[in-house]
Amino acid sequence: MSQAVGNTALAYARVWHHVDATDRVLGKLAERIALVLMGKHKPIYDPSVDCGDYVIVTNSRKVKVTGRKDQQLLYRKHSMYPGGLKETPYRDMMEKKPDEIIRHAVAGMLPKNKLRDRRLERLRIFPQYHMGVQGANVLKSWHDGTLPPDYDPTKPVTSMTLQQNWRTGSQKQS
């Protein structure tokens, strides 16, 4: 009799991860997010199967780049008309669309195949800490992947209350 667990629905269940991008380096952050979107952190990983999790990134305005990339980096797009190349410097992009900077970096880290767009749909990026109703979906802590010791699934909580409960060890509703 085999004791191996097969490809069950529980093994393929998607978990919501929360990442705070404050003072994180863009490339290292994008690499870690890409691994979670692909599902490489799971023991059931298969390159041809989309088994990754959801990732919510907050404080995207506070992400950092190393070296002189803030002066040298250019984001290019083309309208497909002659002379239609538009270049946007990193600093302007950070003011106007900070979420697109992280999305562009993560897209570059993902494999270029048919699963790429589906994986990028599971990435949610917010410029500030407020993430709306999606914060109630977050169950796992980004750093160690655990739940608070007194987590009660019957009470609706946000990621902010989860962090407060983790620090204080209480189940207060804020």
Structure tokens at 55: 């990732």
Contact (CB, 8 A) for 84 and 46: no
Number of residues in the chain: 174
Contact (CB, 8 A) for 67 and 29: no
What pLDDT score was predicted for residue 138? 74
What pLDDT score was predicted for residue 174? 43
Mean pLDDT, rounded, for 47-55: 91
Q: Which stretch of 71-80, 93-102, 136-145 has the lowest confidence by average pLDDT?
A: 136-145
Distances from the Cα of 172 to the Cα of 22, 34, 47, 120, 158, angstroms: 26, 34, 42, 34, 12
Contact (CB, 8 A) for 89 and 3: no
Local confidence band at 104 (pLDDT 50, 70, 90 cut-offs): very high
Mean pLDDT, rounded, for 7-32: 87
Examine the pLDDT at 38 and tell me if it is beyond 90.
Answer: yes
What pLDDT score was predicted for residue 124? 94
What pLDDT score was predicted for residue 144? 53
Q: Which stretch of 106-120, 122-136, 150-164 has the lowest confidence by average pLDDT?
A: 150-164
Average pLDDT, the chain: 83
What pLDDT score was predicted for residue 170? 52
The backbone torsions φ and ψ at residue 93, rounded to the nearest 5 degrees and listed phi first, read -65, -35
Examine the pLDDT at 103 and tell me if it is beyond 90.
Answer: yes
Local confidence band at 156 (pLDDT 50, 70, 90 cut-offs): low
- State the DSSP code for 8: -
What pLDDT score was predicted for residue 1? 45
Tell me which of 9 and 85 has the higher pLDDT: 85
CATH superfamily for 16-168 is Ribosomal protein L13 (3.90.1180.10)
